[in-house]
Amino acid sequence: MTQNPWSGYPAFHHESEPEPSAPLPTAPKSPNSLWHRMWPIVIVAAVVALVVGLVAGVVGARIGRVSSSTTNSAVVPIPQASGDTSPRAEGTIAAIVAGALPSVVSILIEGPNGSGNGSGFVLLADGYIVTNNHVVESSLNGGTLEVEFFDGSKAEAEIVGRNLSYDIAVVKVDRDDLATLTLGDSDAVQVGDSTIAIGAPLGLDGTVTSGIVSALNRPVTAGQADGNESYINAIQTDAAINPGNSGGPLLDGKGFVIGVNSAIATLANGGRAGSIGLGFAIPSNSVKRVAEEIIATGTSTNPIMGVTLDLKYTGEGARIQQVTEGGPAAQAGLQPGDIVTSFDDRLIANSTELVVAIRSNEPGQTVPVTVSRDGSDVTVDLTLGSQKG
């Protein structure tokens, strides 16, 4: 079934600095003129205080009479159930959240254009934390980056590396005793599976929402502050995601991280929106590969096909405008003018879907690609190349 690519608004909470304003000039005030302006206020305040005192006395006397007349009345008990403070049963949302919350963090950013907050989660106990690139990028160029933990403690953080195309970043704090979350297998996720989103929407840290996986392989593009766009082969969920949730974990019904919350749907008029039941998360398998590369080398790679696409083409599929000499597509025998209709057994409706399908794979992986050429279908095996992310 053809899917329309969604344009997502990053779920990052940003507060701009107020515009500076010059103080209005004022004439110097003499002590006498100041007193003349103040004495009516003083008198009014005294009158109000007197009136309040009289009213308080009357009310106090009245209360005293009422109290004395009801001292001997019997108190009617209201039934109340006894609360259960014991740990919740394994597998319940409450039990999963209790185990996950200590590993979820708020990320506080101060940058040249103001402050903001996002979310993240601890991947390794020795201080490595995963979040979105669009959360941390505003701290560059002289800004600051701070992580706040569930217990209220804070630590300065530094960016280890980031991948703009996948909208993933890894930051590190000087700690070696952190509770971690475990990545799940996003390829095993099915529509209808339970989801739990944890983060700091609008700065409200430790906020938990729940829902289900409402769609898979949703092609989503999300803008970055630097003008670039990330292409996400997203997990769609109806768990409420709002600005500030960016970078936080999307958990499955066992408490494993199946995605990193990254974007929410925008309205047709382009206005910013809160949760309307359409949130998008980067699949955990993509997060795992990119984060591992960043932690090991400080950089990461993107899979490439070695083609330039014709963005003006409006037909079904993705039309190849140019083939990079010696690249993966050229080696597989693809030609300019070929229209990609299937990639790795996934139907392709447009250029965005092809880019997202490529990004859902790894460099060096061989996939079947079907193109329409001169009215006939041609299928080739293409080994994806690698490019710095």
Residues 302 and 363: beta-carbon distance below 8 Å: yes
CA–CA distance, 241 with 12 (Å, rounded to integer) = 10
Residue range 357-382: average pLDDT? 97
DSSP 183: B
Classify domain 302-388 by CATH number: 2.30.42.10
Q: CA distances (Å), 327 to each of 8, 84, 131, 337, in order?
A: 31, 63, 32, 16
Name which of 266, 292, 304, 267 is nearest 165 in CA terms: 304
Residues 232 and 285: beta-carbon distance below 8 Å: no
Residue 43 scores a pLDDT above 60:
no
Tell me what pLDDT residue 186 has: 98
Burial label for 60, CB within 10 Å (0-12, 13-18, 19+), is: exposed
Give residue-wise pLDDT tens across range 240-275. Answer: 999 999 999 999 999 999 999 999 987 766 555 577
Q: Which percentage of the chain shows pLDDT scores above 90?
A: 69
Alpha helical stretches, state H, 71-152: 93-100, 133-136
Residue range 354-375: average pLDDT? 96
Query: Which residue shows structure tokens 């000499």?
Result: 325
Give residue-wise pLDDT tens across range 191-241. Answer: 999 999 999 999 999 999 999 999 999 999 876 655 577 889 999 999 999
Q: What is the DSSP string of 32-68?
A: HHHHHHHHHHHHHHHHHHHHHHHHHHHHHHHHHHHHH
pTM (two decimals):
0.79
Tell me what pLDDT residue 254 has: 97
Residues 159 and 145: beta-carbon distance below 8 Å: yes
- Choosing among 2.60.40.180, 2.160.10.10, 2.40.10.120, 3.30.1360.120, the CATH entry for 1-15+90-299 is 2.40.10.120
**Better-scored residue on pLDDT, 55 or 344:** 344
Residue 380 scores a pLDDT above 70:
yes
Residue 317 scores a pLDDT above 50:
yes
Tell me what pLDDT residue 137 has: 92
CA–CA distance, 198 with 209 (Å, rounded to integer) = 7
Alpha helical stretches, state H, the chain: 31-70, 93-100, 133-136, 284-297, 328-332, 351-359
Q: What is the DSSP string of 313-337?
A: --SSSEEEEEE-TTSHHHHHT--TT
Q: Sketch the domain layout of the chain as residue ranges.
A: 1-15+90-299, 302-388
CA–CA distance, 372 with 111 (Å, rounded to integer) = 49
Cα angle: 230, vertex 130, 291; to 5 degrees: 75
Residue 159 scores a pLDDT above 50:
yes
Q: Return the structure tokens found at 314.
A: 């409006």
Average pLDDT of the chain to the nearest whole number: 85
Tell me what pLDDT residue 82 has: 85
Tell me what pLDDT residue 223 has: 64
Lowest mean pLDDT among 18-27, 202-211, 380-389: 18-27
Tell me what pLDDT residue 24 has: 37
Residue 33 scores a pLDDT above 80:
no
Lowest mean pLDDT among 5-14, 169-178, 323-332, 356-365: 5-14
Residues 323 and 186: beta-carbon distance below 8 Å: no
DSSP 344: T
How would residue 297 be classed by pLDDT, with cut points 50, 70 and 90? very high
Lowest mean pLDDT among 97-106, 151-160, 260-269: 260-269
Catalytic site positions: 134, 167, 246
Tell me what pLDDT residue 389 has: 81
Tell me what pLDDT residue 111 has: 82
Lowest mean pLDDT among 78-82, 150-154, 249-253, 321-325: 78-82
How would residue 138 be classed by pLDDT, with cut points 50, 70 and 90? confident
Q: 51's torsion region: left (phi>0), alpha (psi -120 to 50) or beta?
A: alpha
